[in-house]
Structure 1
Amino acid sequence: MKNEIDGKFLLSVFAKVEKHGEAITNDLGPGFYLDGVTVNSGFDGYEVYFDNNKVQLTLGFHNQWHANAENESDLDEFVKMLSKINTKY
């Protein structure tokens, strides 16, 4: 599923969570929560963060992304959650 992740996809999901989600505040500051996914943006606007309590994904400058996941199946499940949000909203 790693091949499905790109900057355009992630920014689309971020915008949909921001638009349709519930405003929250967490360790990263103000953000939004929708369908099991939390998103935040960095203080400088160059990074966006995605989290589902199992996987943390960061999209940085030049559309470079990095994910922290215990295993590949957690990452696959996370990408499915993002895809579902992208399709549903």
Structure 2
Amino acid sequence: MKNEMESRFLLSVYEKIKQHGVKEGLGHHLDGITAYTDHDGYTLFIEDALVKLRFGFHNQYTYDYAKTEHKEAFDKKLENINKAY
């Protein structure tokens, strides 16, 4: 599902998670969100237990989630990270 979230916002949140989060495995974890890239760094993944966001080439992104309320809660977590850090 394609959404209308701004690319700058996603990149900003990714960088904040990377800077302020705890390194775990291949990614960083902050406030219930994990962020990491693929092997070449062209695709970003930002996820929690219920939602996975894939952001890649040409600023295209897709969400993977089962329920709308999961996505809404996920988006709020991203907004909170963006405001808090």
State the TM-score, normalizing by the size of structure 2.
0.93
Indicate whether 1:68 and 2:64 are aligned: yes
Counterparts of 1:42 and 1:68 in 2: how far apart (Å)?
17
The residue that corresponds to 1:7 in the other structure is 7
Q: Which runs of 4+ in 1 moved over 3 A?
A: none
Counterparts of 1:58 and 1:23 in 2: how far apart (Å)?
19
Deviation at 1:47, TM superposition (A): 0.3
Cα deviation digits, residues 1-29 of structure 1 (max 9, x gap): x44x221111000000000000001xxxx
Once superposed, what is the RMSD of the aligned Cα atoms? Answer: 0.9
The residue that corresponds to 2:47 in the other structure is 51
Instruction: Please list every run of 5 or more consecutive structure 1 residues that lacks an aligned counterpart in the other structure.
Output: none
Counterparts of 1:53 and 1:7 in 2: how far apart (Å)?
22
Instruction: Please list every run of 5 or more consecutive structure 2 residues that lacks an aligned counterpart in the other structure.
Output: none
Aligned length: 83
Aligned-pair identity in percent equals 35
Counterparts of 2:6 and 2:61 in 1: how far apart (Å)?
8
Q: Which amino acid aligns with 1:65?
A: Y
